[in-house]
Amino acid sequence: MDTKFFKVNSARISEISLLASSNFEDEITAASKSSDLNDDIVAAAAAATQEQCQLIGTKSLGVDYGLSRTGVAITVGYNPKPIDIIKETNSALVVDSIVQYATSMQVSQIVLGLPLEKNGTECEQANLTRVFGEHLAIEVIAKLGPQVPVLLWDERYTSKEAAARAHSKNPDDDLYGTLDADAACIILETYYKNNGEGAERIQVNKEQHARSLAAYEQFKIKQKEEEQSILNKRLAKMEKMQNLMERSKKLEEEMRANGTLGLSNKKKRKKKIRKRNTFIRLD
């Protein structure tokens, strides 16, 4: 027998014997304290995480706007996922696509990257992004309501960061036109990492805000009408099925009473002929 194996098992046997001879209530108390300690650790970790980033759990749509391509990503605070690269130069169509994504994914906010110069000043692209962001905010209010904000977030170096990450994975790949959604992911990463501090909510002027709110109320009414129409169609279909089932049940009862239940069509015709001939002979 291996001496090392014997020593290890001897030590284990001694440990088991010691545990068996200890007071059972003490073991339960110790286990309870250990469980309480684990719960405290978990609670403390959760509190620390929540304190560090209060946005965890908030679903956000990230947008990296461009004149020819717009990247879109989604996250609830960790591991953002790229969704799409919208290859469209018409900003109105880009807005529609983003609103559709925001609606289908039920996001709580939209984070739009604002391209700034290295020194923090705004360039021409930043001005174009602000104009686009205002159009987006107007449409979001009209379709999702005023509770879904559109936020501007400093996106300096996100494109370079996306390129660096892609190159580290596949150095030989041609990255042209493929990084916009990845840049949108990095926008969300930095936004959550900084707990959203410094984000700027896009404000819409009062008149346009009122028009968008009115459009939102009409949109909700139309949506309810469509939902009611779908429900009515379902109810009508269920009623039709119920009527068919009742007719089938009634027909089955009649066939059972006539003795034709379970007979083939040929046998039914023969039985009908015999019945008719019987009546003729009786006459």
3-class DSSP assignment, residue 78: coil
For the chain, give the mean pLDDT: 78
User: Does 124 score more than 50 pLDDT?
Assistant: yes
Q: What is the largest CA-CA distance in the chain?
A: 113
Mean pLDDT on 101-114: 96
Structure tokens that stand for 137 in this block:
């905010």
Strand order in the sheet with 81-86: 81-86, 70-75, 60-64, 109-114, 150-154, 200-201
In whole angstroms, what is the distance from residue 259 CA to residue 93 CA?
A: 68
State the pTM of this model: 0.62
Q: How confident is the model at residue 280 (pLDDT cuts 50, 70, 90)?
A: low
Residues 55/112/182/79 CA torsion (nearest 10 deg): 10
Q: How confident is the model at residue 255 (pLDDT cuts 50, 70, 90)?
A: confident
- 265 versus 254: the higher-pLDDT residue is 254
In whole angstroms, what is the distance from residue 134 CA to residue 150 CA?
A: 9
Give residue-wise pLDDT tens across range 29-55: 555 555 555 656 655 554 555 555 677
Mean pLDDT on 18-27: 48
Structure tokens that stand for 24 in this block:
């059972």
Q: Given this model, what pLDDT does residue 199 score?
A: 93
Residue 45 neighbours by CB distance under 10 Å: 10
Q: Given this model, what pLDDT does residue 128 score?
A: 95
Task: Please report which helix (H) or strand (E) contains residue 28, including its range.
Answer: helix 24-52
For residue 273, what are the contacts with CB-CB under 8 A and spacing of at least 6?
A: none
User: Does 152 score more than 80 pLDDT?
Assistant: yes
